[in-house]
Amino acid sequence: MSNSVTSAIASLPLPGEWSWEVVIRPRRKTLGIEIREEGDVLFAVPPDADPVAVADAVRSKLPRLAAEVTKRRRGGGQPVKELVGGESFAYLGRRHRLKLVPGDISGDRGAKVRLRHGWLELPRPATQREGAQRIGEWYARRGEEWASPRMGPLAARAGVEASGVSVRDLGGRWGACEPDGRIVLHWAVMQLHPTLLDLVLVHELAHLRIATHGPAFRRRMRLVLADLDDLERRFAQAEPKMWRGAVKG
């Protein structure tokens, strides 16, 4: 059984640098995933595990799994930035340098972050944390402007209806679908290339019809994303690099 499960997991778009193994645990009833301190991954499965079901479960967890593996290998947490001139910020897959410009965010609520002539301009903040908050708000604002017209065609191809899209801080999640049919994205995903943003959008759109991550869910996603496996592999590689607002000081 372990060989067939190993083969099923090996068929997934796991990063090539990962070190992982499958072990049979007689007392387990479901899949267990352990990440060791050095970043090695252990997939613990019951003796009667269905290889296809195990592969589907692992696939659904790949983005968060990749983040944790990277964290363990680096020995640290999420990316941290210092809000100084020249710091790099990504938007829709392109890099922009930070430029601190005159203006007091604290004293002038109209002083906004903006993308201008290839620079991400930030009115000089009183603190690093305040600056990070304003940049996050900028990502959210620009994200809704970008995602709103894009979501309609994706929803139509997925055969679902969504009531709208919002972009805000979702903590440890990259996307969510609300009971009223609204799709929510974490502002941090706006750093990704548009094709990977489509992956996040389609994932949540598919959840409007199917709650789980099984074969029917993936068939729904493939209606829109024929290269789903490749996109998931790329997302797993990009996800740990996404900045979520952590700053020095």
pLDDT in tens, 124-153: 999 999 999 999 999 999 999 999 999 999
- Residues 205, 222: Cα–Cα separation, whole Å: 12
Q: Is 169 in the same domain as 121?
A: yes
Mean pLDDT calculated for residue range 225-248: 91
The last residue of a domain, from among 39, 74, 109: 74
Q: Is 64 in the same domain as 137?
A: no
Identify the residue with better confidence: 248 or 113: 113
Q: Is 126 in the same domain as 215?
A: yes
Q: Of 190, 185, 188, 237, which is closest to residue 94 (Cα–Cα)?
A: 190
The answer to whether residue 80 is domain-embedded is no
Predicted local distance difference test score (pLDDT) of residue 74: 63
Q: Is 70 in the same domain as 121?
A: no
The answer to whether residue 116 is domain-embedded is yes
- Residues 83, 159: Cα–Cα separation, whole Å: 43
Mean model confidence pLDDT for the chain: 89
Q: Is 69 in the same domain as 93?
A: no
Q: Is 45 in the same domain as 116?
A: no
Is pLDDT above 90 for 29?
no
Is pLDDT above 70 for 110?
no
**Count of domains forming the chain:** 2
The last residue of a domain, from among 74, 108, 124: 74
The answer to whether residue 227 is domain-embedded is yes
The last residue of a domain, from among 50, 74, 98: 74
Q: Which domain holds residue 20?
A: 2-74
Q: Is 21 in the same domain as 60?
A: yes
Q: Of 168, 191, 192, which is closest to residue 178 (Cα–Cα)?
A: 168
The answer to whether residue 236 is domain-embedded is yes
Backbone angles phi, psi at 22, to 5 degrees: -110, 135
Identify the residue with better confidence: 77 or 24: 24
